[in-house]
Structure 1
Amino acid sequence: MAKRDYYEVLGVARNASEADVKKAYRRAAQKYHPDRNPDDADALAKFKEAKEAYEILSDAQKRAAYDQFGHAGVDASMGGAGPGAGGFGGGSFSDIFGDVFGDIFGAGRAGGGANVYRGADLRYNLELSLEEAVAGTTVKIRVPTHVTCKTCHGSGAKKGTSPVTCTTCGGRGQVRIQQGFFSLQQTCPQCHGKGNVIKDPCGTCHGQGRVKEQKTLSVKIPAGVDSGDRIRLAGEGEAGENGGPPGDLYVQIKVRPHAIFTREDSDLYCEVPISFTTAVLGGELDVPTLEGRVKLKIPPETQTGKLFRLRGKGVKSVHGGAVGDLLCRIEVETPVNLNRKQKELLEEFERSMEEGKGKHSPRTSNWFDGVKKFFEDMKF
């Protein structure tokens, strides 16, 4: 049976806020909770369905994956790969954003033998130009980190030897101390919680199992990323202790300010200066876009602040949705460095405007009409 849409399950719109999603889940949980509906299989199924929907929609990363790829983007049984090469230049969704349903921050011990610990997650701040963020790119980064020692392969012991189980704690890494009626558990003082002891340390890592290194990585940046987006590189964080799994590397995106464009979600904005003559009489001019120049027709009597929308000339967000627009805001430039003849012509133009009693200047006449009414109302 096909899964229902998560937004439909919780009864919220696709643009619902995090708070709205939480409220909707609380309502559903209270209504279908097993304690309120004992022996009701249908209510139990709806409760589980609501819980699953909330777990996805309350997590920004999982929600972005679901919005773009549907259930396939967040369902482990379906691979969570999205559209593959078609969406992100040859890499799967998991290659770029990581396994969104995995345990991201769960460091700790693994089973068997010595206590092993997951490596720390790392963060790398990456600045991109607007063009790189919109089109996507591949960048090489150098990350200082701890990597597994190649000499001892992470064991920390000299070649040909192995760590031995700690005799103090029996490999548990913890010892129990009895004080009267109380029993306290603390980290083993002999092995410091590792569960084993290295008698002959590795000469390269000095028994740590890890060494510091500058690691060079090639990072694929998907098209449409924006400041605040984060790319997860699974297993590229610090190496774990005692042979534990490595952490992850999170590449935090920041887009540098652009000389011409500003971005708001999927739309781009730019200011277009035009001459006084073009504003009055109209005309045509070239305006820049990220794909090259296009013609923009300026109608007569255009005022400063007028917005012209060029559809489809914005950005396609990495989170999905339609391509945005480019909005051009008109700025009428005041002439400068005029010669005497030009000033005389303008003065003559101004006199002709005054003879028309402001009929040709709607903003000016409206302003003076407003001032006149204000004084009449105040009875000055």
Structure 2
Amino acid sequence: MADDPYDILGVPHSATEDQIRKAYLKLVKELHPDVNPSKKAEERFKLVTAAHDIIGDPDRRRQYDNGEIDASGEQRRHSYRPQGAGAGARSRGAGGPIFEDFGDVFSDLFSGGGRGGARGAGFSTKGRDVRYTLDVDFLEAVQGAKKRVTLPDNGVLDLAVPEGVSDGQVLRLRGRGEAGIAGGEAGDALVEIRIRPHREFRREGDDILIEVPITIDEAVLGGKVEVPTAGGRVQLTIPKGTSSGQVMRLKGKGVRNAATGSVGDELVTVRIVLPETIDDSLSYFLTEWRQKNKYDPRK
């Protein structure tokens, strides 16, 4: 038997993930010890499983194709092994491919569950997971929303976007993926959330950041200004003598953390904006004031 995983599975080096998967399923159904108890079939079954562990995983397949690992998954001595995420062999279920239908041969391929159960129940395998993306507005992500995903076949998925969802978060809809084979359970739909930028708000962790303009008299004398939040407009007190760039905190006006239940704050950065026209009275007043009150904020 050739050592090349592609030869073991009987697929070309240009095979797609789907072709590799189908070839693997076909061989497993022929060679599994519950079906073919011969010693020769058992040895070949081990080779098929090992081959799929290499080229059935996109990252390990890339490493093998690049000569970084050999057919047994071991690092070649002449290759550079990257450190951190993605380095070396991975077990199934830990950072593997998008489609998670190879988590366990016994549970995924055979409806009977354990050895012997497959004979009476027949073969079945879980359907593929499918991946979609969903664009949501900033406030929908903060407050939660009901959304609909249109599928390529013009079908639809209705889902609830949870309050406080973050950009790039993946929502799993159980049983909404591809149908299973031979009565197997359906796969899941994985919906990745992409949050559209907001004109005024930015998000940093569970806090919402916003910049609010104030007038020169509000900065000097203090006052109250209306500030937008995710839940509506509120009054913010500007202390007397506020400088441009000062940050004020609105407690509990941020994003609710779904894991902890805590709510972040809104951080308001004030920016002093001068009037479009500086009239004579303002110029005269500041000229007189400067002569009597010299100070240098750059010292």
Bin the TM-score by the shorter chain.
Answer: 0.5 to 0.7
Greater shift in the superposed pair: 110-119 or 278-287:
110-119
Cα shift readout 1:294-333 (whole Å, capped 9, x = no counterpart): 1111112111111111111111122224111111110100
d(CA) in 1 for partners of 2:148 and 2:233?
31
Verify: 1:131 aligned to 2:139, yes or no: yes
2:101–2:127 contact (8 Å) kept in structure 1? no
CA distance in 2, matches of 1:297, 1:119: 57
97, 101, 105: which one aligns with 1:106: 101
The equivalent residue for 2:257 is 317
CA distance in 2, matches of 1:265, 1:123: 25
**1-side partners of 2:290 and 2:146: how far apart?**
62
Q: How does 1:1-380 map to 2 (within 5 A)?
A: 105-107=100-102, 109-110=109-110, 111-112=118-119, 115-144=123-152, 213-338=153-278, 342=279, 344-359=280-295, 365-367=296-298, 370=299
Q: Deviations over 1:204-234 (max 9, x none)?
A: xxxxxxxxx4332211222111112211111
Q: TM-score, normalised by structure 2?
A: 0.58
Would you say the 8 A contact 1:235–1:246 is kept in 2? yes
Give the match for residue 374 of structure 1.
none
Aligned residue for 2:151, secondary structure, equals strand
> Residue type of the partner of 1:271?
E
Structure-1 separation of matches of 2:245 and 2:293: 25
Please state how far the C-alpha of 1:366 moved relative to its aligned partner. Answer: 4.2
Cα distance in structure 1, aligned partners of 2:254 and 2:124: 49
Write the distance in 2 (CA, Å) between the matches of 1:353 and 1:337.
19
- Residue identity opposite 1:220 in structure 2: A
**Number of equivalences:** 188
Query: TM-score when scaled to structure 1?
Result: 0.46
Q: Within 1, Cα distance between the matches of 2:232 and 2:156?
A: 34
Q: Distance in 1 between matches of 2:200 and 2:297?
A: 34
Tell me the distance in 1 between the aligned counterparts of 2:198 and 2:163: 17
**Higher Cα Rg: structure 1 or 2?**
1
Could you tell me which amino acid in structure 2 is paired with residue 140 of structure 1? R
* Structure 1 unaligned regions, length at least 5: 1-103, 145-212, 360-364, 371-380
CA shift at 1:244, angstroms?
3.3
How large is the RMSD of aligned CA atoms in angstroms? 2.1
Note the alpha carbon deviations across 1:263-291, whole angstroms, 9 max, x for none.
Answer: 11211111110111211121111111222
Q: Contact 2:223/2:238 (CA < 8 Å) preserved in 1?
A: yes
Distance in 2, Cα, partners of 1:117 & 1:346: 79
Matched-pair identity in %:
37
Asked whether the 8 Å contact 1:265–1:317 carries over to 2, the reply is: no
C-alpha spacing 1:134/1:354, structure 2 compared with 1 (3 Å): closer
In the TM superposition, residue 242 of structure 1 has moved relative to its aligned partner by 3.9
* Matched AA of 2:284: E
Displacement after TM superposition at 1:131 (Å): 2.0
Where do 5+ consecutive residues of structure 2 fail to align?
1-98, 103-107, 111-117
The alpha-carbon deviation at position 251 of structure 1 amounts to 1.0
